[in-house]
Structure 1
Amino acid sequence: MRNFKEDIVNGIWEILRENIEQELSKESISVEAPRNRDFGDYTTNTALKIAKELHRKPMDVALYLRQELEIKCPWVEKITVVEPGFVNFFLGDQSLYEVLTRRASDDEGIFSRKDVPFHWQEKLQAFLEEDECRRNLKDMQYVHSRIHSILKLLREEGIRLEEVEEKQIVYEKSDLEKEVLRKLGAFSQQVEVALKHDRPEDILNYGMGLGKLYFKLHEKTLFRQLEKPRLHGALRIMEVMGLIIRTILEAFEIEAPEKM
């Protein structure tokens, strides 16, 4: 599964090395998800950082990066440049929905018990002493059990997602659904940042936030009233949410209940 942030960083690094002869480490290239989605799914300030050294205007550098990145990152639907020199990336639906090809093995490769530093358990213990955190954790566990129960029940009724062809799946493609997909796609990035800054609570907060999105997405969904293609789409998204939540809970040795 594509790591969007990593691919953009690699694209910028290759452009700087090959065309501008500017040596920057990949770690120094900042690509982040902006708080305001009007600025895209990802944004970079690289042009602002290197313009002075290149004796060029930041906007000129940003425009050049956009031109080259449109070639290197064809999976990005749109790339824009904003004053004073930010480059913004907008993912198309096809890229967003790629996250739904995720399987349990993908998440275990991103984050598992062996990746958890020993001292994180102590830090998490202090974090979970807060009442709000305990409530959010319980909600997260409930979401996992709820997803497991729904998938199990429908599986017993003959709906097996592994046997459903892509042409039999229809997604709602609402703003909320796409927000969920962006959240799912940010999992590897969240783990990377948390490990770098020694903040295990960020990963748990991510999982809790995913649980809250589940309630927003499905609080009024009547699954049995959905037509089969839409039902398949809703279940596919739910399945991936459950996989990631389970991965986080098990990595921290917290119960991922199948029934509550």
Structure 2
Amino acid sequence: MSRSFQFSFLQALTFGVLLFMALPNLIVLAISFNREATLAFPPSGLSFAWYLNVFKTPSFAVGLQQSVLLATVSSAISLALGIPAALAIVRFRFFGRQAVNVFVMAPLFVPEVVMGIAMLLWANAVSTISNTTTLVILHCLIVLPYVVRLVVANLQGMDPNLENAAMLLGARPFQAFFRITVPLIGKGLLGATVFAIVMSFHNFTATMFLIGSRPTLPVAAYQYIRTENDPTVAALSTLMMLAGILAVYLMERWIGLERLVR
């Protein structure tokens, strides 16, 4: 078997795998332009009416505001907690270090359905806590492992002697950290923030158990599709996919995805 044939076969196989992965999204994209008020494939014609209907639906506007609020607050809290946790895991050796690492990463291995039910039971037991606060705590648990993992990877990729040299020259530990370490891992912190926002914004499975009068955008889409059968949800899904693709493109353009885990 010639090397050129092997290369062509590998290219065809790669293209086939990528097409298979993208096929559901391409079907949703096609349905979003359907002229008829039905979620049917293939579409009977082309229309942009359902994209306009996305912006006319009040529940989607409320859901967008709630999702942005949760994503912003939970990402900020996760960064505030994740950076010290990552520093402790990378820089220090203490009893229970591995247990801390496992505890922080545990939400990655717990089904989101279980997390949602557990938070619902906890919120019912603690009746003084608000629904929004419960959602923020839930989203922090979901995104914190991603923040810690990315920050740990970036800290392991830098030379700690640079920070030590700054302290030898008279800088205090906090000054050395913010003037030396933070700029060196700045792109990793930005990447962790983007990942946290995206993971929080798109979460549905765990969030649906705690929704009150203000649903998040994915939950609002689910509630809409339970009563309506038009392609508005397909149009909304397409817009959300485009936003995710844009976020990945900007991260690759400004940061470089391969640098996030160095």
TM over 0.5: no
The structure with higher relative contact order (CA 8 Å, sep 6+) is 2
Name the larger-Rg structure.
Answer: 2
TM-score by length of 2: 0.27
- Which is richer in helix? 2
